[in-house]
Amino acid sequence: MSLARVGLGCANIAGLYAPVSAETARRALEAAWEMGIRRFDTAPFYGRGLSERRVGDFLRDKPKTEYVLSTKVGRRLVAEGGAEAVKEEPAAPLPFQVEFDYSHDGIMRSVEDSFQRLGLTEIDILYVHDLGAFAHGDAAPVHFRTFMDSGLKALEGLKREGVISAYGLGVNENEVCIDVLRRASLDEILLAGRFTLLDRTAESELLPLCLERGTTIVAGGIFNSGILATGASGEACFNYVPASADIRRRVEGMEAVVSRHGMSLAQAALNFPFSHPAVSSILIGTHKPESLRRNLELLGTRLPQSMVAELDPLALR
């Protein structure tokens, strides 16, 4: 499998649940580069600017023609009150508050801020981050209208002027992707956790719509917050929270199926997203070189159709 189809998700190098040192982050980025990964995805929200700073510092001396960089818009970082806002955060992010802003001007300011944090002059892809009910609940319709009426024009202009090469959504849900695609074109969707070995909810409507509209899918969250890497035992998580009894039962069943076929659960989870033609690539998120190497070694396996057929009834749809 070409490593052009694999990217490094750079949330972990800024710390998710505990601080990650600059040296640890650097080693992870260096390992990814040495292993052949040339796609890097970051966001202002990751470490409240820390991920962008670390990614930019690493890529600054790399030939631009050799890598693809994506970041996100929709959240702006604000200094006022930032120290107070993060004092209870266990992962020690930078001292900024987060404000949602999907307007034309908000997106333009966000891009300029990202250029400053990255210290780079080129960003390839912009994803609109967490537009939808998963992040916003009852406020989601207001943010959606702001983006469609205003923010989308900013992305169209940035692409037209050559500031970026592509744009799309970076989300954890199918519905908002469908709502946008029915009204506008998107180059790409970074979809976290909704087309995995366990969660197939994107399969019925979103993925066919992407094929129809010429929108590619980058599959993120392929381990569904960890349970497809660790299995159902212990403190397994699904969708960022402890897994329910139903989810554990499904995953236990999947573990038994893949084991009978001589495969590990992680191996099946890593290779499954490539089974659909709408998926162009996957993201692997880690700050541990050994984890990255182990995952890359598992890639390139074609899943037997007989095994997939056994797994199908256990998946969420």
For residues 279 and 217, is the Cβ–Cβ distance under 8 A? yes
- Could you tell me which residues are beta bridge partners of residue 308? none
Q: Provide the angle, in degrees to the nearest 10, between the axes of the packed helices 22-34 and 50-59.
A: 50
The catalytic position among 46, 102, 127, 167 is: 46
Give the Cα separation of 279 and 206 in Å (integer): 12
**Identity of residue 257:** V
Q: Quick check: is 57 catalytic? A: no
The Cβ of residue 131 has, within 10 Å, a number of other Cβ atoms equal to 28
What is the SS3 assignment for 154? helix
Phi, psi of 171 (to 5 degrees): -140, 170
CB 143 within 8 A of CB 136: yes
Known catalytic residue: 17?
Answer: no
Active-site pick, 62, 64, 67, 72 = 72
Answer yes or no: are the C-beta atoms of 178 and 208 closer than 8 Å. Answer: no
Helical ranges in 81-205 per DSSP H: 82-86, 104-118, 133-136, 140-146, 152-160, 175-181
Q: Which residue has the tokens 């799309």?
A: 168
Phi then psi for 192, rounded to 5 degrees?
-95, 120
The catalytically annotated residue of 41, 101, 187, 199 is 41
Based on the residue annotation, tell me whether 46 is a catalytic residue of this protein.
yes
Task: Specify whether the CB–CB gap between 73 and 129 falls below 8 A.
Answer: yes
The residues carrying an active-site annotation are 41, 46, 72
